[in-house]
Amino acid sequence: MSKTEELSRAGLELLLEAARGLLEEPNLDKLLPALLGKAFEVVGAERGYILLRNESDELTPVTARGIEPGSLPDGDPSKSVIETALKEHRPVFSRNATRDPRFSGASSLIIRGIRSACCIPLEAHGNRIGALYLDATGSGKLTERELPLLEAFGSLAALALARSIELKEARNALQTATKGLRFSGIVGESEVMCRMYDRMERIATADLPVLISGESGTGKELIARALHSTGSRKDKPLRAIFCGNLTAELLESELFGYRKGAFTGAITDKPGLIDLADKGILFLDEIADVPTAIQAKLLRFLQDGEYQRLGDPNPRYADVRVFSATNKSLTEGISAGRFREDLYYRLNVLTIEAPPLRERVDDIPLLAATILTRVASRTGQSHRRISPAALDRLSGYSWPGNVRELENVLARAAVLTTSDTIDPEDLDLVKSDTRESKEITSDLDLQSVTEAHIMRVLKLAEGNRTEAANILGVSRRFLQKTLARWREEEVA
């Protein structure tokens, strides 16, 4: 094996190592020096720069190696080398840059004593992102042998940079869009949401129990956390528990804790969530599902702050503000004997209703942008945009799963689409659950459909029955008899 082949293999192995590192680092500030460092490992450069386009579309050095920070002089690196590479859309290499006719008159190369220089344009998806510039003063430091590797490295680096820049821009856009949010974590500017915010602001500082109602997926826990973060107990803990599908024994031990030896497996004392939430907030999610045996103990605690750990006869006390949430009707639960009426009145002091997504359709564009930015940050993929047609389809859907369902639909579309833009066909929605289809299927008997169709044709024909009959493909006499029969049926 020749020396050239050995170097090529070593370079390719290094390139593979660089690819792993680049694809795992979405942070632009960390990615830039990592890119330059890998470039120095590929070739024997003495100095190097990465230049990116700024808001004025000018190339500016954003990271450098081989010179002191902040000491980059005017005209360095050589604009001649960079401009040539960008103009030709390909790497430019010169073994003896000071004598290269392409760079004649480039004083910075002569003053610096640059012997060899190289510039790799960084382009991705047809966009010029910037350039990678390397040079050396010593003879033979930079050679054409590494140029294919540098070119491949530049393509990989451009893709990584494009992804990082896009993610940074998306995060900045999200911060700008959510900067004016009245409550952290809750996105929405529709009229119904503004009314809810007004109510939340009045409730947050009132040290009383709060009952949050709303359909599944409307963000009831987000509301509870927002109330906590803006209330008088914001510096104290918030403890939350999902009460659905928990047995009475398990829920009791989680809420009130237990004493060592209270049951098999209780090898030590364990504090409950009430202990841990002392001076703070306890959030009981899906309060309607609390077993009736535990409801009485919760009622006692809400009355005077007193409770007992399992296996401990001694009473304990805690100062806790209780938030609860439900997607079911507690009054129906009272009627059915599943929920204590006295506990309901203890919980139902201050109330907030989380609106379903179908009542805040105007918030869907902002919600979609927020969700897609979060998906890009979590997955490390490029940020997906959503087409106007896709937004129209989202707005026409009834959203039985509310915001949670919207998050799932958009996350699935962002991961599975092969494009940077999410189109209607990328959205996995239940077609039979759109508002349009509900209107169509609300009454599908043959007579209703026939009547609706004939009336639409008459309207189109501006009441001209001859023209309407021609469109329908029936005789004018048949149309008149049909309309007369309907009138008789209405009178009858």
- Other CB atoms closer than 10 Å to residue 210's CB: what's the count? 25
Let me know if domain 191-355 sits in CATH 3.40.50.300.
Answer: yes
Residue 18: pLDDT band by 50, 70, 90 thresholds?
A: low
Amino acid 1: pLDDT: 40
Numbered ranges of CATH 1.10.8.60 in the chain = 358-435
Residue 5 has pLDDT above 50, yes or no: no
Phi, psi dihedral angles at 360 (to 5 degrees): -135, 50
Mean pLDDT to the nearest integer, 203-213 = 94
Residue 473 has pLDDT above 80, yes or no: no
Residue 6: pLDDT band by 50, 70, 90 thresholds?
A: very low
**The two structure tokens encoding residue 114:** 């640059």
- Reduce the DSSP state of residue 97 to 3 states and report it: helix
Mean pLDDT to the nearest integer, 78-105 = 72
Separation in Å, CA 430 to CA 427, 435, 475: 9, 11, 41
Write the CB contacts of 210 (distance below 8 Å, at least 6 apart in sequence): 203, 224, 227, 322, 323, 324, 349, 350, 351, 352
Mean pLDDT to the nearest integer, 175-201 = 81
Mean pLDDT to the nearest integer, 448-456 = 71
Per residue in 242-261, pLDDT (tens digit) is 998 889 999 999 999 998 88
The pLDDT > 70 percentage for the chain reads 77
| Cis status of the peptide bond prior to 313, with omega within 30 of 0 | no
Per residue in 37-54, pLDDT (tens digit) is 878 877 778 888 888 877
* 432, amino acid identity: S
Residue 445 has pLDDT above 70, yes or no: no
Write the CB contacts of 416 (distance below 8 Å, at least 6 apart in sequence): 426
Per residue in 221-231, pLDDT (tens digit) is 999 999 999 99
Angle between helices 292-304 and 248-256 (to 10 degrees): 20
Amino acid 60: pLDDT: 78
Q: Write down the mean pLDDT value for the chain.
A: 81
Q: Which of 16-20, 38-42, 295-299, 452-456 comes out lowest in average pLDDT?
A: 16-20
Residue 296: pLDDT band by 50, 70, 90 thresholds?
A: very high
Q: Which of 255-269, 426-440, 453-467 has the highest mean pLDDT?
A: 255-269
Q: Which of 114-123, 443-452, 462-471 has the highest mean pLDDT?
A: 114-123
Residue 319 has pLDDT above 60, yes or no: yes
Residue 298 has pLDDT above 60, yes or no: yes
CA 84 from centre of chain: 41
Amino acid 4: pLDDT: 43
Q: Which option is the CATH number for 3-174: 3.40.50.720, 3.40.50.1110, 3.30.1360.70, 3.30.450.40?
A: 3.30.450.40
Mean pLDDT to the nearest integer, 100-115 = 63
Residues 124 and 130: their CA atoms lie apart, in Å, by 10
Residues 374 and 370: their CA atoms lie apart, in Å, by 6
Amino acid 491: pLDDT: 47
* CA neighbor of 322 nearest in space, from 186, 196, 226, 212: 212
Amino acid 3: pLDDT: 41
Residue 89 has pLDDT above 70, yes or no: yes
- Give the residue with greater pLDDT, 26 vs 53: 53
- Reduce the DSSP state of residue 193 to 3 states and report it: helix
Amino acid 202: pLDDT: 93
Phi, psi dihedral angles at 403 (to 5 degrees): -65, -35
Mean pLDDT to the nearest integer, 122-128 = 77
Our CA angle for 417, 420, 421, nearest 5°, is: 80
CATH class of 358-435: mainly alpha
User: Are the CB atoms for 115 and 138 separated by under 8 Å?
Assistant: yes
Residue 99: pLDDT band by 50, 70, 90 thresholds?
A: low
Write the CB contacts of 372 (distance below 8 Å, at least 6 apart in sequence): 170, 383, 384, 385, 386, 410, 414, 422
- DSSP H stretches of helix in 117-219: 147-178, 191-204
- DSSP H stretches of helix in 380-492: 388-395, 402-416, 435-441, 446-460, 465-472, 476-491
**Paired residues of 47 in beta bridges:** 135
Numbered ranges of CATH 3.30.450.40 in the chain = 3-174
Amino acid 171: pLDDT: 67
Cα distance between the two ends of the chain: 101
Mean pLDDT to the nearest integer, 186-214 = 93
Amino acid 118: pLDDT: 82
| Longest CA pairwise span in the chain (Å) | 106
- Give the residue with greater pLDDT, 21 vs 348: 348
Per residue in 262-281, pLDDT (tens digit) is 888 888 899 999 999 999 99
Numbered ranges of CATH 1.10.10 in the chain = 443-491
Q: Which of 37-41, 73-77, 138-142, 394-398 comes out lowest in average pLDDT?
A: 73-77
CATH class of 443-491: mainly alpha
Residue 7 has pLDDT above 50, yes or no: no
